[in-house]
Structure 1
Amino acid sequence: MQEQRRGTPSIILLHYHLRPGGVTKVMEQQARALDALGYPWLGLVGHNPKGIPGFQTLERLNYDVYLQDSLLDEERRYHNLSTDIHRAIQAWKTSDSPVIIHAHNVTLEKNTALLPALQRLQSMGYRFLLQLHDFAEDGRPQVYSPEDYPQDCHFAVINSRDFRALMQAGLSSPGLHRLPNQVSPLPLPAPREPANNPAPAGSSSSGSLAQSLGKSRLILYPVRAIRRKNIGEVILLSRILEDTALAVTLPPNNPADNQTYRFWQDLVRSLDAPVQLGAGEQWAFEDLVAQADSFLSTSVQEGFGFAFLEPWTIQKPVGGRYLEMVCPDFEHQGMNLSHLYTSIRIPLSWFNTEKVRQDWLGENQKRIHAFYQVVAKNPDNQQNTLQALELLLKDLPDRWSRLVQDGTLDFAILPREEQAAIISRLSPDNRADKDHLLALNPQLAAWPLAGSAPPLHQGAVAENTRVVTTVYSAEAYANRLSRVYSQVLQDHLEHSISKTSLLLSFLNPEGLYLSAM
């Protein structure tokens, strides 16, 4: 442990695990920020598969499914867990400086002992910063905890949508902090000396991906092709954009997404569409980044939205679907995202409207019923929640009617089979339907990433690049983190979260996309 400046807090970074993923990436960035700030820190996690330095493993922090003591009585489990955390901190500390436990995603019920363990640690005098990246209320009833969430402590979120939801649920602004993620520059290939270092097969120097698909321009979607990334819309765009190939970098790594991925692979092959799924399996990521003329996001759900920011670090534009949950934050910082589209309207006559209506109602009913069943197991002080869920169920038909009142529906709401039928309908020789679609969606015809439209103004590219490389830089992130920790030490809070309000903030039927199911 490094020598500590007087008055500097000791930080404990705490999470269930360090498996590859978004939270692990953030925690590694926080560790580097703390090193830069000179703050002593210790990581406590339930599993550290890659042996990331600075993180100590406490097995009782892991998910319940991996724990041998998950059959013990609840009181004994949380007492054991809180004792493990306390002992690890005390064995590590070398001064009497204040300790802040910066814990991640604790409201997801992945370990049923964690919330009561934190309550016990709070009674022992520990201060908390609880950073919430994901919410069980956001369509994940299987990890919705019946426990009350921690009270009278500080919380942090990564976007303004979550900030507003928690404010409406009862938190006060001194104890709720925006902590947007750090954005690192995208990698580019190192310069090569052609005579001495010929390019390997599958690199940009041995021919381009766009050329292999018979096009001159490449739009890259640098994600895993999981369902919420809305891959059908990528293929739809390939039927609209001129002289443009599209590529998605990686296949899914979750078996639950494999069937949908194979469905889209089969469609691309059958249509001979200029789309490469899993391009990163054949090309180095750096070479794909270098080849890309621009980048794409068609996702229907994001927590932070790296895909909207990272390409600007190398002065390449991003196009695609505007997400209300993250994009306003970027615009507030000064980015110009006016070229993004908010939806792709499809005429109701192009698909089986009644079947889609029944599917949409059924999936929403299933989701609401799942939360109802969890809440009903602990009905004390939950009657308001149960009544609100019942009203939401009754209101579903009216909400559907409002979605289709103009005679169209957003393409992303459709299930994959209906999406595929529409993509197939827009064949190269069906000019009439393509013109009709563009008339309904004029922003696509004028899209700066389309070969037939004027490119995005260089001033907008330069300004977006400036915002991303300054507002979301490593230095800016470390400064934000330091300010939040100072407030955690200074402010004594009395506030709590209304779980009813929080659930209703996220349980938005209009935000259900059948393409992501």
Structure 2
Amino acid sequence: MGNRVTGITIFHYHLLPGGVNSVIALSAEAMARHIPELEYMTLVSGTTENTGEVAESIRTRIAGTGVTVKTAVLPDIGYVTGMASSPSVSSIKKHLRRFTGSFWWIHNYHLGKNPQFTQAILEILQEDPHQRLLFHIHDFPECARFENLQRLNTGISLNPYPQGPNVRYALINERDRQLLAQSGISPDDLFLLNNPVRKSGTDVRETPTDTEGIKKRLRTAFPDAGVYDPRGLNLFYPVRTIRRKNVLEAGVWTRLIASSRNEACNLIVTLPGVSSSERRYSGAVEKAYRDGLIPGLWGIGRRLEEAEVNFADLGRSSDLMIASSVQEGFGYLFIESLQWGLPLFARELDVLDGMDGLFDAGSSRFYRSLRIPLSPEQREELRRSYRSKLSGLDEHLPLKSRERLHRQIEEIGLYGHADLALLGVPDQIEILRNLDSPGFIKECLDLNRDELEKLSGLFGRKPAPEKVSSAEEQFSFESFARQVRNIFDSYERSETASPGSVAPEAASQERLIDAFAELRFLLLLYDYNGNS
């Protein structure tokens, strides 16, 4: 293929709206604009739904670059859970070989959504040393996705983390890159590839001149979306309502902030969950809004035209960006808080390692826990729930992982309180109800007083313009394209390696499973099935 990559084939199970497909669209635009030798890109999806729309959106964005965007639909590479019968590996390989001659860019190839697709890719990797592949990993099946992991490992016969001169890995955060290196993959084959971010084109020192008008229009346009007070502070959480976003915790913070400041606060959450497993959680959050347990507006992201406001202005007119997510791969909202000139209050996550310098102490605060008082009986019941959950994972976890988790479980509630994120969804909703009790909310305020005082100091603060510029440069289209070029160049270097070199071994999957065997990845939150 040579160093000059002129064609890229991008594979994903689907092109429905969501995080991975936003990255695909932005990546395509970045490469079309900043890799001049690129002539075409082909988007290969397992479903027809939204595939044409994504391609047309990219074509519009890259008009004038000369890059062609094509599409192909291969139903055999979609989610197997939606198929009448599993596809054959040989059939998938036959379809994939239609794209030989281009560079293959495969997103989340090993997630357990379609083991036959994974096996086909791994076999082609061995059979055709000239076919170059990039495995772009956004999520790991080893990270407490045990159903996916079991489906993957029973459906493939080859190690899902191969090494060789024709394969590279792109990781979206430094934590994941280090995990794969520690699992045995050569660091030379691992590349940190930050998700690209489009420049905002606005000055963070400016705010919409019609902030009060926006708040009034929100109340008028969305009487069915929650109890909203236009005189209050707007806490913005622009996410889809899925379990790992831990939205109910943001609701508890909103209630505590309002009580500590004696001021109305509104939590604005933009989108519902869409998958069958997430709709139940999304429905529980929506009901909490309808019942008045969380003040603010829920699920208005696709209806903003009814309030005559666009998404960016809704963000820029807010008073705080809040994020209670317990798990992220990248998290666009962290960068959006800078672009929109908002102070940021967020749960501390290890995937933010390496991004610390983008946020200054004056306009951002990262918290480690939201402390909730629990009775001795409640604490023991919580520990019992985790013991029961862990007992069902024996076949998936190494002994040392189980022993570590047992120690973490026994430490829950040792000081009379626990992190809200450890609670299951019904218990989190009960906490929201209990906040109506003056005695209970006082206990919560006392347990979190230091955090609330630091949080209160964020209001009215803006990130420094130089922080915004630094972030937009680090995650710019140009920076993304430069790293892609580095990846392309790395194949040339491996081909010029000494001919007698020994082929590297595949990575240890057990090391990855152990690395993710932490209580924070096994929260009861993830088990919610709609039952109270």
Match of 2:46 in 1: 46
Helix, strand or coil at the partner of 1:213: coil
Matches of residues 84-483 of structure 1 in structure 2 within 5 Å?
A: 84-90=95-101, 99-122=102-125, 123-124=127-128, 125-144=130-149, 145-146=152-153, 147=156, 148-149=159-160, 150-152=162-164, 153-184=167-198, 203=217, 212-213=228-229, 215-242=231-258, 243=263, 244-271=265-292, 273-280=294-301, 283-284=304-305, 285-286=310-311, 287-324=313-350, 326-331=351-356, 339-349=365-375, 352-366=378-392, 368-369=393-394, 372=396, 389-427=398-436, 430=438, 433-448=440-455, 450=456, 453=457, 455=459, 457-458=461-462, 460-483=463-486
Task: Work out whether residues 105 and 134 of structure 2, in 8 Å CA contact, stay in contact via their aligned partners in 1.
Answer: yes
Question: What's the offset of the Cα at 1:7?
Answer: 3.2
Which blocks of at least 5 consecutive residues in structure 1 are unaligned?
72-76, 91-98, 373-387
Amino acid of the structure 2 residue aligned with 1:154? R
CA 461–115 in structure 1, closer or farther in 2 if over 3 Å, else same? same
Amino acid of the structure 2 residue aligned with 1:489? E
Q: Note the alpha carbon deviations across 1:370-390, whole angstroms, 9 max, x for none.
A: x53xxxxxxxxxxxxxxx624
Q: Structure 1: how far apart are the matches of 2:377 and 2:480?
A: 47
Detail structure 1 runs of 4+ shifted over 6 Å in the superposition: 191-194, 199-202, 205-211
Task: Work out whether residues 293 and 433 of structure 2, in 8 Å CA contact, stay in contact via their aligned partners in 1.
Answer: no
TM-score (norm 1): 0.81
Task: Work out whether residues 271 and 301 of structure 2, in 8 Å CA contact, stay in contact via their aligned partners in 1.
Answer: yes
CA 178–264 in structure 1, closer or farther in 2 if over 3 Å, else same? same
Q: Note the alpha carbon deviations across 1:119-156, whole angstroms, 9 max, x for none.
A: 33222221221111111111212222223113322111
CA 66–277 in structure 1, closer or farther in 2 if over 3 Å, else same? closer
Amino acid of the structure 2 residue aligned with 1:84? H
Q: Structure 1: how far apart are the matches of 2:460 and 2:216?
A: 30
CA 68–490 in structure 1, closer or farther in 2 if over 3 Å, else same? farther
Task: Work out whether residues 186 and 311 of structure 1, in 8 Å CA contact, stay in contact via their aligned partners in 2.
Answer: no
1:506 aligns with 2:522: no
Task: Work out whether residues 322 and 345 of structure 2, in 8 Å CA contact, stay in contact via their aligned partners in 1.
Answer: yes
Q: Structure 1: how far apart are the matches of 2:337 and 2:175?
A: 23
Q: Note the alpha carbon deviations across 1:452-480, whole angstroms, 9 max, x for none.
A: x354654x443432232211122221222
Q: Note the alpha carbon deviations across 1:246-280, whole angstroms, 9 max, x for none.
A: 11112222233333334334444444642322233
CA 57–241 in structure 1, closer or farther in 2 if over 3 Å, else same? same
Task: Work out whether residues 127 and 489 of structure 1, in 8 Å CA contact, stay in contact via their aligned partners in 2.
Answer: no
Higher mean C-alpha displacement, 79-88 vs 211-220:
211-220
Helix, strand or coil at the partner of 1:405: coil
Q: Structure 1: how far apart are the matches of 2:251 and 2:209?
A: 37
Amino acid of the structure 1 residue aligned with 2:492? L
Question: What's the offset of the Cα at 1:25?
Answer: 1.6
Higher mean C-alpha displacement, 507-516 vs 104-113:
507-516
CA 356–6 in structure 1, closer or farther in 2 if over 3 Å, else same? closer
Question: What's the offset of the Cα at 1:494?
Answer: 2.6
Q: Structure 2: how far apart are the matches of 1:333 and 1:294?
A: 17
Amino acid of the structure 1 residue aligned with 2:379? T
Q: Structure 2: how far apart are the matches of 1:5 and 1:390?
A: 47
Question: What's the offset of the Cα at 1:513?
Answer: 2.2
CA 228–217 in structure 1, closer or farther in 2 if over 3 Å, else same? same
Q: Structure 1: how far apart are the matches of 2:406 and 2:515?
A: 19
1:21 aligns with 2:26: no
Q: Structure 2: how far apart are the matches of 1:14 and 1:346?
A: 44
Helix, strand or coil at the partner of 2:454: coil
Question: What's the offset of the Cα at 1:88?
Answer: 3.2
Q: Structure 2: how far apart are the matches of 1:179 and 1:422?
A: 40
Amino acid of the structure 2 residue aligned with 1:162? D
The two structures, once aligned, show a CA RMSD in angstroms of: 3.4
Amino acid of the structure 2 residue aligned with 1:404? G
Task: Work out whether residues 252 and 294 of structure 2, in 8 Å CA contact, stay in contact via their aligned partners in 1.
Answer: no
Q: Structure 2: how far apart are the matches of 1:247 and 1:187?
A: 24
Higher mean C-alpha displacement, 475-484 vs 203-212:
203-212
Q: Note the alpha carbon deviations across 1:431-461, whole angstroms, 9 max, x for none.
A: x54444333323432234x3xx354654x44
Helix, strand or coil at the partner of 2:398: helix
Q: Structure 2: how far apart are the matches of 1:166 and 1:107?
A: 14
Q: Structure 2: how far apart are the matches of 1:400 and 1:513?
A: 11
> When the two structures are aligned, how many residues end up with a matched partner?
471
CA 307–350 in structure 1, closer or farther in 2 if over 3 Å, else same? farther
Task: Work out whether residues 228 and 297 of structure 2, in 8 Å CA contact, stay in contact via their aligned partners in 1.
Answer: no
CA 33–395 in structure 1, closer or farther in 2 if over 3 Å, else same? closer
Q: Structure 1: how far apart are the matches of 2:434 and 2:76?
A: 54
Q: Note the alpha carbon deviations across 1:17-48, whole angstroms, 9 max, x for none.
A: 22222222212222222212122333333224
Q: Structure 2: how far apart are the matches of 1:79 and 1:70?
A: 12
Q: Note the alpha carbon deviations across 1:342-369, whole angstroms, 9 max, x for none.
A: 1112233387112211212222333x24
Which blocks of at least 5 consecutive residues in structure 2 are unaligned?
56-68, 496-502, 528-532
Question: What's the offset of the Cα at 1:70?
Answer: 2.5
1:490 pairs, out of 483, 490, 493, with 493
1:79 aligns with 2:90: yes
CA 252–185 in structure 1, closer or farther in 2 if over 3 Å, else same? farther
Q: Structure 1: how far apart are the matches of 2:343 and 2:11?
A: 36
